[in-house]
Every structure is written in C-alpha cells, then in structure tokens.
C-alpha cells in the first residue's frame, strides 16, 4: 500500500516537475546534456563507504582502487536546475562497493563549468549510512529534490527532501529529519 501511494505521489510530482521544469530547461543552455556520462572520467562524490575519487567509466561502470562503481541499472541521468543558477545539472543514482560485495547507492549531483569544458561534482544529495537503505527513485520540483529511500531489509519506503544550500555549497535535508 505504502509503495503504491509513494508511486502515485512520485508520478504526480514528476508530471508537475516535467511541466514546470520544461520552460526553464528550454530557456537556458545546458552543457550537462552534451556529456557522455556513461563513458567519461570524473571525480565521484562519496557513495556509501566509497570516498571522493576520480573514476573512469566505460559503458556506465568503472573501478578505482579496490572499489567498483556503476550507474544504477535501469535508471537514467536526470537533468534539472538544482542550484538555482538557471543552468541544468545532472543527477545520477550511483552504486559503489568493494569487489564481490554488496553495493551502496547514493544520489549524486554533477554540473559543468561555465564554458562546458570541465565536469564538476556538486556533491552527494542522498547517501544513507547503511547499504540496505538506498535511494531508489527521485524527482525534482522547483529545485527541491524528493528522494524515495528503500530499506531492503524491512521493505519500507520513505521520502526525504533535499535542497542546494549555496552558502554551504552542499545539499541539505529540508524535511526536518
């Protein structure tokens, strides 16, 4: 029941976000849409126990040290202005973990430099501290990011809300938890 309710809420927010976000997306030039995100080397913000580090991706997977990184299967890169600067950023559900182990999942945000020449990490949006709790879906509405977090042990799903804080240059949780 809860999962169906979240699905309906997320679908409604996504529909509103797509309609509301379309005008902004058309009005601003966006370098993030020109990036081949699945075949690129860039600095990945923390994902679970995986630290900030440069990773070269080929077909959406890469390795750095003893860590394996991959884009969450079946999830696309989502483009939205999450910093309020009028330029689209990229949101990615990224998985990481030691080889032959369970992966943690985090929602990370990336952008490009003003000239589009460099890919820059904005940071980690949602990164639960337990590998069994993982961001499973998200939507952006007027710059706020609603993240569905699934606990695979209890099968519970809840929503967390995040916003970019320009003074901290980081994403902060804004739902009071």
pLDDT bracket for residue 129 (50, 70, 90)? confident
Predicted confidence at residue 117, as pLDDT, reads 86
Over pLDDT 90: what percentage of the chain? Answer: 75
Predicted confidence at residue 27, as pLDDT, reads 29
Across all residues in the chain, what is the average pLDDT? 86
Q: How far apart are CA 8 and CA 42, in angstroms?
A: 35
Q: What's the rounded mean pLDDT across residues 87-107? A: 95
Residues 49, 53, 57, 60: what is their CA dihedral angle, to the nearest 10 degrees?
Answer: 30
Q: Higher pLDDT residue, 15 or 167?
A: 167
Instruction: Name the residue among 119, 146, 149, 121 with its Cα closest to residue 133.
Output: 149
Residue 146 has pLDDT above 50, yes or no: yes
Which residues touch 72 (CB under 8 Å, ≥6 apart)? 93, 94, 95, 105
pLDDT bracket for residue 111 (50, 70, 90)? very high
Predicted confidence at residue 23, as pLDDT, reads 27
């Amino acid at each position: 029941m809860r999962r169906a309710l979240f699905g309906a809420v997320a679908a409604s927010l996504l529909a509103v976000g797509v309609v509301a976000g379309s005008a902004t997306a058309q009005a601003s030039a966006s370098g993030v849409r020109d990036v081949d995100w699945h075949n690129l080397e860039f600095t990945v913000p923390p994902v679970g126990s995986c630290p900030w580090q440069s990773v070269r991706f080929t077909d959406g997977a890469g390795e750095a040290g003893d860590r394996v990184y991959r884009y969450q299967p079946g999830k696309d890169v989502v483009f939205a202005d999450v910093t309020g600067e009028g330029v689209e950023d990229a949101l990615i559900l990224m998985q990481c973990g030691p080889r032959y182990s369970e992966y943690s999942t985090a929602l990370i945000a990336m952008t490009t430099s003003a000239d589009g020449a460099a890919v820059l990490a904005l940071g980690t949006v949602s990164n639960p501290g337990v590998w069994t709790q993982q961001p499973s879906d998200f939507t952006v509405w007027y710059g706020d990011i609603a993240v569905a977090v699934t606990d695979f042990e209890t099968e519970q799903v809840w929503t967390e809300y995040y916003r970019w804080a320009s003074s901290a240059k980081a994403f902060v949780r804004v739902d009071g938890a």
